[in-house]
Chain A
């Protein structure tokens, strides 16, 4: 029987449909202001792509920042557990997962058995996340998906001291005004996030292999900055943004097999 994992993030909603461990369809769409609506649309599109109807799904597991707003989910799971599961399925040798999403960054340490041993998340503010990069891309007048490539062209990354989105913006503007190239500033921004996330990685304890997931893993400048800072090679799956949805779908399969869907659906809010 088919199952779905729905990852309602701060920026994007991701859906994965599986049957017997095989991926039938994947969808990514903006979360917008209505996580429940985005999840419904995403699930609808994914079902259509898989040639299925809603009644074919035996279990829907939601995860991500908006996991509790999706009223079609049978159960919710945190993005920590979902990303760990998803990263493992993408790279079975994974022992450390770095996930940088739209609004938070997290580092997960995994046991040999694949269970979560420890994790760390950024505090209140969204410094060092996808949202930070989006704001900075705006200042640099570059599309956020092109920012990584721009950073790679830098020969001498600028030093960005502040991690606060508001302060960094002023810092970036002064650097540009002082004649630093957009390439150097883009690379400097990636390095500044890299330093912050690396401290979290070292706190949790680095164990190879290190898998980089979340939307920000699509930024090649961020990959380079983290590898430089941590002095290791990371594994970046081909669809890093989908790790959470995939993990949720895999956990949905397990829940279905164990008959755990009897658990009441949590009420929104």
Chain B
């Protein structure tokens, strides 16, 4: 199967061994984990195994696999055409040297990581894809998609940036319609109203399950670690949707029960922190693991791998194809990416979340060279300060050379939130 996918087997083995060790050290050593996490441990142990087999089997049955890196790609249209969507890997240092053989060095680690997985032939998901759907949320990705197209067919959707204007909505609607045609062309199957309605229900159910898990983290102590919750979010991008939804709902049942029993994780004497900013593509567990290694629980993620994905459902106002597509446009306009301008909505969402989750402080994550999230941190910090919530900004990449410096800063931040004087 691996050979069929054109993987570099030797490198792929190195990756899997490293991943297994890191996963064991970070996740399996956590105390008092919910039993519902066993499913997710299993998914990770089979991340380059059973799940890939499922995808390959689908391909053999003539179904298409679509890869994406961004929440803006309307997955409802992918599932409505009986194709499968996978969120692609982009969170590891491992693949960056392969990328740097082609791309400039001083660009975002996420871009280098995903590109490196493709050119190095180390990601079976990437190699399963019939098409990658990109978007214009940042200049780096936009230009790299042009190069990626030489390796895998890459289709780019234009995301308007002044999202609240009528012309932006019109452009985005046109883009969504064109993507629908693209999917129809690929699969040779017209997307009918009923199949789109089914797909909307399917994805809404998945988002609702993830939101349930998130809501339980308001409990004090939180019933699940930030690392585990982050993992659930990361797995959501490539697991089988109905199975993931069922397992996530089972986890939510358990977490709600834990909350009723006051059974949770983290050190009660330590502050609760919220995470905000750039996404943590799998297997980027760097900041969460540093923070939680001090017994400090992370209770929410305002991020694409987090609240931005599951907060809003798609809510059609009518039954026509037009109203279904408009509902998609409306939902996807509410994601609050830092690429929008002006972006008051994101700033107030961060503040509201910090209050809702009773966070004593916010750790703001900037991936190196991500100008949009980096500069937007100024407005976010100001708004949080006005609301009495201190913020710590960490700018980093996937390397481990600054782990101790970050640890010192996070530790000093927690000492500041709970003074020892």
Contact = CB atoms under 8 A, between A and B. Distances in A.
B188 interface: no
Interface in B384-420: 390, 395-396, 401-402, 404-405, 408-409, 411-412, 415-416, 419-420
Contacts of B421: 85, 113-115, 251, 254
B405 A121 contact: yes
A-B complex: 3 closest residue pairs judged by Cβ atoms? A80-B412, A78-B412, A116-B416
A104 B416 contact: no
B389 to A, nearest CB: 12
Interface size class of B (residues with CB under 8 A): 10 to 19
A183 interface: no
Given A80-B416, A81-B420, A118 B390 contact: yes
A7 interface: no
B331 to A, nearest CB: 37
Contacts of A80: 408-409, 412, 415-416
Nearest to A124: B402
A123 interface: yes
A104 B405 contact: yes
A115 B402 contact: no
A117 B413 CA distance: 10
A104 B408 CA distance: 11
Given A78-B411, A254-B421, A119 B416 contact: yes
A163 interface: no
Interface of A: 65, 77-81, 85, 104, 113-119, 121, 123-124, 251, 254-255
Contacts of B395: 123
21 contacts: A65-B408, A77-B415, A78-B411, A78-B412, A79-B412, A80-B409, A80-B412, A80-B415, A81-B412, A81-B415, A81-B416, A117-B416, A119-B416, A121-B408, A121-B409, A123-B395, A123-B402, A123-B405, A124-B396, A251-B421, A255-B420
Given A65-B404, A124-B401, A124-B402, A119 B420 contact: no
Contacts of B401: 124
Interface in B363-403: 390, 395-396, 401-402
A87 to B, nearest CB: 13
B218 to A, nearest CB: 27
Contacts of A81: 412, 415-416, 420
Residue among B395, B402, B411 with the most chain A CB within 10 A? B411
A116 B404 contact: no
Contacts of B409: 80, 121
Given A80-B416, A114-B421, 12 more contacts: A77-B415, A78-B408, A78-B412, A79-B412, A80-B409, A81-B412, A116-B415, A117-B416, A123-B395, A124-B401, A124-B402, A254-B420
Contacts of A85: 421
B402 A119 contact: no
Nearest to A81: B415
Contacts, number: 50
Contacts of B412: 78-81, 116, 119
A45 B408 CA distance: 28
A77 B408 CA distance: 9
A79 B415 contact: no
A147 B29 CA distance: 50
B416 A124 contact: no
Nearest to B392: A119
Contact of B419 (A78, A104, A115): A115
A78 B410 CA distance: 9
A78 B415 contact: yes
A8 to B, nearest CB: 12
B236 to A, nearest CB: 32
A117 B408 CA distance: 16
Contacts of B415: 77-78, 80-81, 116
A77 B405 contact: no
Nearest to A111: B419
Contact of B408 (A79, A113, A251, A254): A79
Contacts of A78: 408, 411-412, 415
Residue among A65, A81, A255 with the most chain B CB within 10 A? A81
A123 B401 CA distance: 11
A119 B405 CA distance: 14
B404 A115 contact: no
A81 B420 CA distance: 9
Nearest to A83: B412
Residue among B401, B411, B421 with the most chain A CB within 10 A? B421
B362 to A, nearest CB: 13
A104 to B, nearest CB: 7
A36 to B, nearest CB: 15
A114 B419 CA distance: 10
B390 A124 contact: no
Residue among B405, B411, B419, B420 with the most chain A CB within 10 A? B420
A92 B18 CA distance: 51
Contacts of B408: 65, 78-80, 121
A12 B415 CA distance: 24
A71 B381 CA distance: 38
Nearest to A123: B395
Interface in B216-233: none
Contacts of A115: 416, 419, 421
A124 B420 contact: no
A255 B421 CA distance: 9
B251 to A, nearest CB: 31
Contacts of A79: 408, 412
B247 to A, nearest CB: 35
Contacts of B420: 77, 81, 251, 254-255
